[in-house]
Amino acid sequence: MIGAIYSLSMMIQRAAVHAFCSLVGLAFWSAQPDAGLAECDNDALHFPISLKPGQVKTPEFTVSGAGAIEITARNVLPAADLSCMMGISEGPQDPVDCDKDPLVEASWKVLRGSNVVAHGSSRDMGKRGYCFGSFFAKYIGVFKAGKHEKYSLEVDFTKDGSALAVADPHLTVLDILPSDLPQFTSNAKPDPDILYTTYLPLTPGHFRSPEFEGHKHLNVISFKVLGRLLPANEFCLFGVQVIDLPKCAVDSVVEFEWKVWSEGKIVATGTSNPNEGDNEGRKYGGPLRHCGGTPIIDRDVGFFEGRKGQRFSIELDVKKDGSELNIAYPTLSVVKGYPPSAFAM
Tabulate helix, strand, coil % of the chain (nearest 5). 15, 35, 50
Task: Give me the pLDDT at residue 115, please.
Answer: 93
HSE at residue 240, side-chain half, CA atoms within 13 A, is: 28
Bridge partners for 108 per DSSP: 120, 155
Q: Using 50, 70 and 90 to split pLDDT, how confident is the model at 179?
A: low
Pick the more confident residue, 20 or 323. 323
Dihedral angle of Cα 80, 82, 85, 86, to the nearest 10 degrees:
-120
Among 21-25, 121-125, 241-245, which range has the highest average pLDDT?
Answer: 121-125
Q: Check whether 254 has a pLDDT greater than 50.
A: yes
User: Which has the closest alpha carbon to 174: 37, 64, 16?
Assistant: 64
| Rounded mean pLDDT, 169-197 | 70
**Cα angle value 320/323/324 (rounded, 5°):** 120
Task: Give me the pLDDT at residue 5, please.
Answer: 29
Q: Using 50, 70 and 90 to split pLDDT, how confident is the model at 8?
A: very low
**pLDDT tens profile 133-169:** 678 889 898 888 887 889 999 999 999 999 999 999 9
Cβ contacts of 269 within 8 Å, gap of 6 or more? 257, 258, 259, 260
Q: Check whether 22 has a pLDDT greater than 50.
A: no
User: Which has the closest alpha carbon to 108: 144, 85, 141, 61?
Assistant: 141
Dihedral angle of Cα 300, 233, 96, 120, to the nearest 10 degrees:
-100
Dihedral angle of Cα 30, 33, 36, 41, to the nearest 10 degrees:
30
Lowest mean pLDDT among 66-75, 127-136, 148-157, 255-264: 127-136
Question: Does residue 258 contact residue 314 with C-beta atoms inside 8 Å?
Answer: yes
Residues 333 and 223: their CA atoms lie apart, in Å, by 6
Work out the number of other CB atoms within 10 angstroms of the CB of residue 61. 18
Task: Give me the pLDDT at residue 84, please.
Answer: 86
Q: Using 50, 70 and 90 to split pLDDT, how confident is the model at 31?
A: very low
Q: Check whether 79 has a pLDDT greater than 90.
A: no
pTM: 0.66
The amino acid present at 306, given as its one-letter code, is: G
| Domains by residue range for the chain, with CATH | 2-17+191-337 (2.60.120), 43-184 (2.60.120.790)
Q: Check whether 34 has a pLDDT greater than 50.
A: no
Q: Check whether 71 has a pLDDT greater than 80.
A: yes
Q: Is 217 helix (H, G, I), strand (E, B) or coil?
A: coil
Q: Check whether 321 has a pLDDT greater than 70.
A: yes
The amino acid present at 143, given as its one-letter code, is: F
Q: Check whether 44 has a pLDDT greater than 50.
A: yes
Residues 170 and 71: their CA atoms lie apart, in Å, by 6
| Rounded mean pLDDT, 200-215 | 94
Write the CA distances from 52 to 30, 39, 88, 229, 318, integer angstroms: 32, 22, 19, 26, 45
Pick the more confident residue, 54 or 232. 54
- Mean residue pLDDT of the chain comes to 77
| Rounded mean pLDDT, 258-268 | 96
Task: Give me the pLDDT at residue 218, please.
Answer: 93
Work out the number of other CB atoms within 10 angstroms of the CB of residue 122. 25
Residues 37 and 308: their CA atoms lie apart, in Å, by 49
Residues 232 and 253: their CA atoms lie apart, in Å, by 14
Lowest mean pLDDT among 38-47, 49-58, 113-122, 224-233: 38-47
Q: Check whether 27 has a pLDDT greater than 60.
A: no
| Rounded mean pLDDT, 205-217 | 94
Q: Using 50, 70 and 90 to split pLDDT, how confident is the model at 285?
A: low
Cβ contacts of 260 within 8 Å, gap of 6 or more? 221, 266, 267, 268, 269, 304, 312, 313, 314, 315
Q: Is 7 helix (H, G, I), strand (E, B) or coil?
A: coil
